[in-house]
Structure 1
Amino acid sequence: MSYQHILVAVDLTPDSRLLIDKAVSLAQPLGAKVSLAHIDVNYAELYTGLVDINLAQTQDQAAAGSLRQLNELCEATDYPIANTLVGAGDLSSELCESVEEMDIDLVVCGHHQDFWSKLLSSTRQLINCTPVDVLVVPIKD
């Protein structure tokens, strides 16, 4: 099987570079497209009603900051990036939705090998819902 479109899930930390480089190394020989996605926290889901904040404005500012960082990652990559996506909410459901909409056939994500990731792993949730291949890149902490 030859991959045609690879989606890289990034968290906008320096570890994102490792994931993008891995995806590009797979995409180049195949001539596959590469897209980047970052899923922010949905602040409306966290709101308890005790703080007077403008949730829409906060969410918009977070999305704008994330998009700016994604664009910086694209500029630092020596391979064309087809799409950059910024979403908010549950990582696995947002990425699985994008997989269907964009005809993705491989998702690249990282997995931190630390104590907390053994208990709370968004990668495990992604593996359980995605209909395509998933490449999990170990990130040692």
Structure 2
Amino acid sequence: MSTNVKIAFINNNIKERNGELHLNDEWIRIENVSNRRINMFGWELWHWKPSKQYSLIYRFPKRIDNLFWTLDPGEIIILFTGYGSNKFIEETSDHKSEFHFYCGKNSFIWNNAGDIACLFDTESMTSTLAVP
């Protein structure tokens, strides 16, 4: 398994705000820990359940706002469960550059202990992380 791009964190500790739960409070952080630029087009994030069922959660696009993109060394991806517009956020003194992607799901995904997030490049599994 490659360690160039890894699933670093699953945020599934959802807090109620104003009496509501928000799907985009659930997210996964993916990091490029290598020293090279990675083309993530066609990479996929899958959800594995203990009942040995896989389901495709997200396939990374070729473009963001009609521009080709790559994940540069040190950059991160935040993959939100709900809806939104994919975007790139420039690095500032407070945080590294990050990409925000949205799965477009209508319910929470990472809410069962034992579930595993699995990241695949175009050839094989590159990283996994169990739901805390």
Same fold (TM over 0.5): no
> Which structure's residues are more often helix, by fraction?
1
Q: What TM-score, normalized by structure 1, do the two folds share?
A: 0.29
Question: Which has the larger Rg?
Answer: 1
> Which structure's residues are more often strand, by fraction?
2
Q: What TM-score, normalized by structure 2, do the two folds share?
A: 0.31
